Amino acid sequence: MAELSPVLKQATPVLAARGEGVHLYDEQDRRYLDFTAGIGVTSTGHCHPRVVEAAQRQVGTLIHGQYTTVMHRPLLRLTERLGEVLPDGLDRLFYVNSGSEAVEAAVRLARQATGRQNIIAFQGGFHGRTMGAGALTSSGTKVRSGIGPMMPGVAFAPFPETYRHGWSETEAVRFALGELDQLLVTVSSPRDTAAIIVEPVLGEGGYIPAPPEFLAGLRDRADRHGILLILDEVQTGVGRTGRFWGHEHAAIRPDILITAKGLASGFPLSAIAAGQELMSRAWPGSQGGTYGGNAVAAAAAVATLDVVRDENLVANAAEQGSRLREGLHKVAAEHPVIGDVRGLGLMLANEFTTPDGQPDTTTATRAHAAAAERGLLLLTCGPHGNVVRMIPPLIVTADQVDEAVGLWSQAV
Residues of the shown chain interacting with ligand PLP in the complex, contacts defined by CB under 6 A: 39, 98-100, 103, 126-128, 199, 203-204, 232, 234-235, 260
CA nearest to 367, candidates 324, 335, 394: 335
Question: Measured from the CB of residue 97, what is the shortest distance to ligand PLP in angstroms?
Answer: 8
- Between CA 44 and CA 272 the distance in angstroms is 21
| Residue 261 DSSP symbol | G
Q: Which is nearer to ligand PLP, 144 or 374 (CB)?
A: 144
Nearer to ligand PLP, 128 or 239 (CB): 128
Whole-Å CA distances, 376 to 32, 34, 132, 371, 397: 6, 6, 35, 5, 15
- Cα 207 from Cα 229, distance rounded (Å): 21
Question: Measured over all CA atoms, what is the biggest interatomic distance in the chain, rounded to whole angstroms?
Answer: 61
Closer of 237 and 339 to ligand PLP (Cβ)? 237
Cβ 128 to ligand PLP, closest distance in Å?
4
| Cβ distance to ligand PLP smaller for residue 197 or 405 | 197
d(CA 407, CA 401): 10
- List the one residue out of 249, 245, 225, 227 whose CA is nearest residue 236: 245
Tell me which residue of 314, 184, 187 sits closest to 239, measured CA to CA: 314
- Beta carbon of residue 221, minimum distance to ligand PLP (angstroms, whole number): 21
Exposure b/e, 386-405, CB count within 10 A at least 16 = b: bbbbbbbbbbbeeebbebbb
**Residue 210 or 331 with smaller CB distance to ligand PLP:** 210
CB of 121 to ligand PLP, least distance (A): 11
Please check whether residue 85 is in contact with residue 63, taking contact to mean a CB–CB distance below 8 angstroms.
no
- CA 112 – CA 228 distance, rounded (Å): 11
Q: What angle, 0 to 180 degrees and rounded to 10, lies between the N-to-C axes of helices 49-59 and 295-310?
A: 160
- Preceding peptide of 149 cis, ω within 30°: yes
Please say whether the beta carbons of 197 and 154 come within 8 A: no
The residue type found at 297 is A
CB of 288 vs ligand PLP, minimal distance in Å: 16
Q: For the chain, how big is the Rg over CA atoms in Å?
A: 21
CA distance 195 to 104: 12
Which CB, 130 or 386, lies closer to ligand PLP?
Answer: 130
CB of 19 to ligand PLP, least distance (A): 19
* Least Cβ distance, residue 40 to ligand PLP (angstroms): 7
**Distance between CA atoms of residues 391 and 412, nearest Å:** 18
Residue 339: CB minimum distance to ligand PLP, A: 23
Nearer to ligand PLP, 161 or 232 (CB): 232
Q: Are the CB atoms for 381 and 349 separated by under 8 Å?
A: yes
State the residue number with the nearest CB to ligand PLP: 99
Please, what is the minimum distance in Å from the beta carbon of residue 204 to ligand PLP?
A: 6
